[in-house]
Amino acid sequence: MTDGARPATRTGQAPREVTTHCPYCALQCGMTLRQEEDRISVLPRDFPTNRGGLCQKGWTSAELLDHPDRLTTPLLRDPATGRLQPASWDAALDRIATGLGEVQRRHGRDAVAVFGGGGLTNEKAYALGKFARVALRTRHIDYNGRFCMSSAAAAGMRAFGVDRGLPFPLADLGRADTLLLVGANPAETMPPLVRWLTEQRQRGGTLIVVDPRATATARQADLHLQPLPGTDLAVANALLHIALTEGYVDGSYVATRTSGFTDVLRTVAGWWPARAEALSGVPVADLEATARALGTAERAIVLTARGAEQHAKGVDTVTAFVNLALALGLPGRPGSGYGCLTGQGNGQGGREHGQKADQLPGYRKIDDPEARAHVAEVWGVPAHELPGAGVPAYQLLDSLGTTHGPRALLVFGSNPVVSAPRATRIESRLRDLDLLVVADFLLSETAALADVVLPTAQWAEEDGTMTNLEGRVLRRRALRPPPTGVRTDLAILADLTTRLAVKGRVPSYRLVHSKGPLLTSKPGAAAGERPAADPQAVFEELRRASAGGLADYAGISWDRIDETDGVFWPCPRSDEPDSPRLFADRFATPDGLARFHPVEHRPAAEEICPEYPLHFTTGRVLAQYQSGTQTRRVAALRRAAPEAFVELHPDLAGRLGVADGEPVRVVSRRGEFRAPARLSPAIRPDTVFAPFHWAGAARANSVTNDAVDPISGMPEFKICAVRLEKAAQDDAERSGVSS
């Protein structure tokens, strides 16, 4: 293997190539970037997750590197005009340091909060968590991954003792005799994965999809279960009921490798198939066919994704499917198991090393005395000075600017004005802050509200590591340095730490100590000493901080990754194999047994009524990604998906007198949004759907429910009660204003 970078013959400007990974979803498809004269080419690479394939987003990913909207200088809001104006880095960083100090002096340490992102590298996620707890000494940090797979993470932790999206390599999907996808639409969200589904069916396997819509993935399935949104838990309990009555349960596995099954038996006894059909709309025959396909397969895999997880009962819903997988004896069996399709590029690694409100590096719990002592020793600070647990993302955002909430917020790699539920309310909360700082490379809708905007490097301009949906730690490599005037997130954190120290906000020992580099290098450092703005230096410290934790990276080095196709955690030692498959012999619980948990269906947090008679659900489309800040600026993607839409069944459209393409308003108790109607038989007649990639009048999250799961903090994005109204043609600028 090479180091990933290869110079070529000089023709005017020296071409350069690096092997790296796509900046979008958690597949982290392998690609090669080539700099030639004045353009950058994207070439597919034969990597295990994509085997030479890329989706349209991957093919066009380099177009943003030199986009005319790219931020290349800091911006400060002029108090006289209220406008963002270009400023120097010194002025911007001094404004931040002074503002943070003033807020904490007046309101306490926890009056400052940090909000991160699931697209940040492991090094940046680690440094951000450390910066919050060591430099700012605040408990308030969380990230947008809380809106992604936090429910599956919590379910995995309580069942298996560990959270890794796929505890087996992605290639296992292609070898499964039966594959059950619940609330997943990889044909649009991560298209290169579909080749594994195609391979699975070509081998004679059965693909079953559970989704309220006949998505591009569901249309490829042998069987599509189309439940009412919010009833997946009832479906799972009914499947386990059938498995019990038909003799599909693996009694030996349950007896030797699990605990708690008796309590689950009592719960699922009441979920006979006809009851589940009456609630969910899924026919008994389809439930029985699904249970039979899973129960008689030699190799079977159950996968969940956002459709099952983004509910106020998301943890229990995922747990119900985990119970089903355990009863069938799937986890740890070769070619079988349960897994979750992580969404964001570093959704896995981003939550392992300190961005979550209740976690320290290595997936350690922040309230565990031993965990605190270990990390404090690596960081060179007294354990008692580390703050305690903060609050989950939505609770944090909803408290901003209030009497008892944070008065200042730093945002890295996220756009909550578009991505948060009840977004109109969150936008108002952000406006109430004394200080809002956003680090980004484009002026997102959140950055447009900021007092200070810091231009940051893009994915092809910095080195680092990412951890994909399999738990495979990968190398991201820089093709070129950032443009003049742009800094990396690590450099920004180092500079801010230095300024906070100069202003007396951080004791000097917090900057440099004998254990290794922290967030900045000490003045007058010896020649050759790595500053902590160097991502490899940060990764070396991350290895020590994670050692002995559930997500143990101690045996993973950049060199080891370079010699392989990535290294699977846990990997405690550099001289021992990594862990592509988990649970073969034991689970990560104290006694090595997986835990069953009885879970009962309960209604959605908000049910339909005469005023709001329709169910509303959200999701993604093929050509756009997350809040759309990046993809809405790529011409080819904009042509493929130029605008938001509201999908509704033709029967519903007929009752309302709505024609295809006609503008409609979707109204909930929290707000409204407007978009053209798209008539489709793919959706249930009692449900409407919209993608969440657009802002302004078309912002779908203006109406979504902010009820949250009590365990994971996941908001109920996937179901709320709405009404549909025809909108006037001149109503294009209207948007929801209810808070």
Average pLDDT score over residue span 312-316: 98
With residue 688 as reference, give the H or E element that holds it.
Answer: strand 687-691
Which pLDDT score, from 0 to 100, does residue 218 have?
97
For the domain made up of 5-66, give the CATH fold. Answer: N-terminal domain of TfIIb (2.20.25)
- Measured CA to CA in angstroms, residue 150 lies from 163, 306, 480 at distances of 10, 10, 34
Per DSSP, 705 falls in state -
In 3D, which of 509, 527, 528 has the Cα closest to residue 519?
509
Cβ 618 vs Cβ 718: under 8 Å: yes
Residue 477 and residue 4: Cα distance in Å, rounded? 7
Decide if pLDDT at 120 tops 50.
yes
Return all residues near 21 (Cβ < 8 A) that are at least 6 apart.
28, 29, 30, 31, 47, 466, 474, 475, 476
Write phi, then psi, for 318 (nearest 5 degrees): -65, -40
Average pLDDT score over residue span 348-373: 95
- Tell me the average pLDDT of the chain: 92
In 3D, which of 680, 652, 202 has the Cα closest to residue 666?
652
Write phi, then psi, for 110 (nearest 5 degrees): -75, 0
pLDDT in tens, 586-606: 999 999 999 999 999 999 999
Cβ 532 vs Cβ 521: under 8 Å: yes
Which pLDDT score, from 0 to 100, does residue 501 have?
81
- Note the residue count of the chain: 739
Per DSSP, 236 falls in state H
Domain residue ranges of the chain, discontinuous segments joined by +:
5-66, 75-141+354-413+423-568, 150-341, 614-726
Which pLDDT score, from 0 to 100, does residue 525 have?
39
Residue 245 and residue 241: Cα distance in Å, rounded? 6
- Reported pTM: 0.94
Decide if pLDDT at 513 tops 50.
no
For the domain made up of 75-141+354-413+423-568, give the CATH fold. Answer: Rossmann fold (3.40.50)
Decide if pLDDT at 517 tops 70.
no
Residue 574 and residue 377: Cα distance in Å, rounded? 22
pLDDT in tens, 223-264: 999 999 999 999 999 999 999 999 999 999 999 999 999 999
Residue 650 Ramachandran class (φ > 0 left, ψ -120 to 50 alpha, else beta): alpha
Residue 503 and residue 569: Cα distance in Å, rounded? 40
Residue 268 and residue 324: Cα distance in Å, rounded? 10
CB atoms within 10 A of CB 382: 12
Cβ 569 vs Cβ 471: under 8 Å: yes
List the structure tokens of 115. Answer: 């909000």
Return all residues near 108 (Cβ < 8 A) that are at least 6 apart.
none
User: Residue 582, SS3?
Assistant: coil
For the domain made up of 150-341, give the CATH fold. Answer: Dimethylsulfoxide Reductase; domain 2 (3.40.228)
Which pLDDT score, from 0 to 100, does residue 37 have?
82
Decide if pLDDT at 38 tops 50.
yes
pLDDT in tens, 139-188: 999 999 999 889 999 999 999 999 999 999 999 999 999 999 999 999 99
pLDDT in tens, 75-96: 999 999 999 999 999 999 999 9
User: Residue 353, SS3?
Assistant: coil
User: Exposed/middle/buried for 635, CB within 10 Å: 0-12, 13-18, 19+?
Assistant: exposed
723: Cα within 13 Å, side-chain hemisphere: 10
Residue 32 and residue 477: Cα distance in Å, rounded? 10
In 3D, which of 631, 613, 708 has the Cα closest to residue 420?
708
Decide if pLDDT at 13 tops 90.
no
Decide if pLDDT at 512 tops 50.
no
Distance of CA 624 to the CA centre of its chain: 15
With residue 216 as reference, give the H or E element that holds it.
Answer: none
Per DSSP, 658 falls in state P
Which pLDDT score, from 0 to 100, does residue 121 have?
97
Per DSSP, 213 falls in state B
Task: Report which residue type is found at 332.
Answer: G
Which pLDDT score, from 0 to 100, does residue 729 have?
63
In 3D, which of 21, 201, 215 has the Cα closest to residue 647?
215
Long-range contacts of 528-535 (CB under 8 A, 24+ apart): 531/494, 532/127, 532/490, 532/494, 533/488, 533/490, 533/491, 533/493, 533/494, 534/490, 535/121, 535/123, 535/124, 535/462, 535/463, 535/464, 535/465, 535/488, 535/490
Return all residues near 337 (Cβ < 8 A) that are at least 6 apart.
167, 168, 172, 301, 302, 325, 330, 331, 583
What is the band of 731 on the pLDDT scale with cuts at 50, 70, 90?
low
Q: Which spans in 23-172 are helix H?
A: 56-59, 89-107, 122-130, 150-160
Residue 147 and residue 712: Cα distance in Å, rounded? 10
Greatest CA span in the chain, whole angstroms?
76
Residue 718 and residue 310: Cα distance in Å, rounded? 6
Decide if pLDDT at 733 tops 50.
no
What value, to the nearest 5°, has the Cα angle with vertex 593 and ends 370 and 147? 65
Cβ 446 vs Cβ 438: under 8 Å: yes
Average pLDDT score over residue span 324-348: 95
Which pLDDT score, from 0 to 100, does residue 577 have?
97
- CA torsion angle 633 639 645 649 (round to 10): -150
pLDDT in tens, 479-510: 999 999 999 999 999 999 989 887 655 544 34
List the structure tokens of 733. Answer: 């600028």
Task: Report which residue type is found at 37.
Answer: E
Decide if pLDDT at 739 tops 60.
no
Residue 319 and residue 338: Cα distance in Å, rounded? 11
Task: Report which residue type is found at 106.
Answer: R
Show the beta-strand stretches assigned E in 221-318.
223-225, 258-259, 300-304
CATH class for domain 614-726?
A: mainly beta
pLDDT in tens, 410-458: 999 999 999 999 999 999 999 999 999 999 999 999 999 999 999 999 9
Write phi, then psi, for 527 (nearest 5 degrees): -60, 135
